[in-house]
Amino acid sequence: MGVKIIVLGAGVVGLSTAVNIQSSIPNACVNVIANNFYEDTTSYGSGGLFIPTSQSQDGSDVEKLRKWCADSWKFYASLATGLEAGNCGAIISSGYQLCNGNLERYQNALYKEFVFQYERLSDKEMEDFGFLPHYKFGFKVITIALDQRKYLIWLQQRLRDGGGQLEKRKVTSMNEFVDKCDVLINCCGLGNRELVGDKLMFPARGEIVRVKAPWIKHWVNTDDVTYMIPGENDIALGGLKQNGKESLKVESNETEDVLQRCLKLIPSLKAAKIDHTWVGLRPCRKGIRLEKETLKFGNGTLEVIHNYGHGSDGVALSWGTAMEVVDLVKKCLPQRHEVMSKL
């Protein structure tokens, strides 16, 4: 008898979780149910740069974050250096992390031990690149950028190739899944404010301006949410981080603010052609919620694993948290199911 797993949510966290379960539990039938797919998800608009920031979140377990970071990096590095790089949008990308304050935080960044290179810029390099006087300190970093417009499709295809299904509909209660699956995985992000009543969830509104600037090859990321991340066909300029604001409307004054901040760092962007502007809501929480829970309803019980609240680090940590979900799924499964790892 096969194991039936249902994953709620089709952003990068939900799809990564579904694909991991499917790959690690051979007899699992994995279906993804979500109200939003692809371009309607927050993941779609992400710049996709592997620069995790979650160590600064209240309530985060640093050792867990380190493991999630390490597991995610190992997988992304294998994609970016392997045959699937072009299909999944994984790019080895060099750039600069800039900051004005809290130098120690960046000297001890969680991800520095995993990325290909992480070296502090000298004062001369800061001046030569034009980063002074806007920023006091800088680091040269070689990491990976994942183009979400390709990566999400790639994940969906992997799921389908393994026999998984995608279903578009809104879920209002977990009660409907009692006796419908062996384990339910909750990757609903902001939807968990209503679905499970999580009061720790909050939106952090962001904006990205996509421009055509093929002469820019290196990314720049700063501690004031200003960034430029080149992709295959355009460059993502950002950004904003407005906690609690939920409007998805593009505001012209905010777009102009993003452009002006980026122009200070890279004056040649003046010649860039704007392609489109995107607004999304990061699913933030005071600490990522990754745990299993047995829910009791009038018509029975339901084994649930929660995996949400990644905030700005949905891309960076999604594969690592998905791997931990697999371990929890195996603990939830009845003994009658044979569970074998393909790894």
pLDDT tens digits along 160-171: 999 999 999 999
Q: What pLDDT, on a 0 to 100 scale, did the predictor assign at position 340?
A: 42
Q: What pLDDT, on a 0 to 100 scale, did the predictor assign at position 310?
A: 96
C-alpha distances (whole Å) from 312 to each of 53, 55, 88, 317 are: 7, 12, 20, 10
Residue 69 sits at the vertex; the CA angle it makes with 37 and 93, to the nearest 5 degrees, is: 75
268 pLDDT higher than 60: yes
Candidates 173, 169, 189, 147; CA nearest to 321 is 189
pLDDT 10s digits, 269-328? 999 999 999 999 999 998 999 999 999 999 899 999 999 999 999 999 999 999 999 999
Q: Are strands 273-285 and 28-34 parallel, antiparallel or unpaired?
A: unpaired
In the chain, which residue ranges form alpha helices assigned H by DSSP?
A: 12-24, 62-80, 85-88, 103-107, 123-128, 148-161, 192-195, 252-265, 314-332
Confidence of residue 203 (pLDDT cuts 50, 70, 90): very high
pLDDT 10s digits, 174-202? 999 999 999 999 999 999 999 999 999 99
Q: What is the mean pLDDT of residues 332-341?
A: 55
56 pLDDT higher than 60: no
pLDDT 10s digits, 111-153? 999 999 999 999 999 999 999 999 999 999 999 999 999 999 9
Candidates 297, 337, 10; CA nearest to 167 is 10
Distance CA 34, CA 21 (A): 17
**Structure tokens that stand for 19 in this block:** 């694909």
Q: What is the CATH number of domain 3-332?
A: 3.40.50.720
Q: What is the mean pLDDT of residues 197-218?
A: 97
Domain boundary assignment for the chain: 3-332
**Structure tokens that stand for 85 in this block:** 């790089």
The total of other beta-carbon atoms located within 10 Å of residue 25's CB is: 23
Q: How far is CA 241 from the centre of its chain?
A: 15
Confidence of residue 59 (pLDDT cuts 50, 70, 90): low
DSSP codes joined into one string, 118-159: EEEPPHHHHHHTT-TTT-SEEEEEEEEEE-HHHHHHHHHHHH
Q: What is the mean pLDDT of residues 259-266?
A: 96
Q: What does pLDDT average to over the chain?
A: 94
Confidence of residue 342 (pLDDT cuts 50, 70, 90): very low
Q: What pLDDT, on a 0 to 100 scale, did the predictor assign at position 333?
A: 86
Distance CA 50, CA 145 (A): 6
Give backbone dihedrals phi and psi of 291, rounded to 5 degrees, phi first: -160, 160
Whether the model clears a pTM of 0.85, i.e. scores above it, the answer is yes
Confidence of residue 53 (pLDDT cuts 50, 70, 90): confident
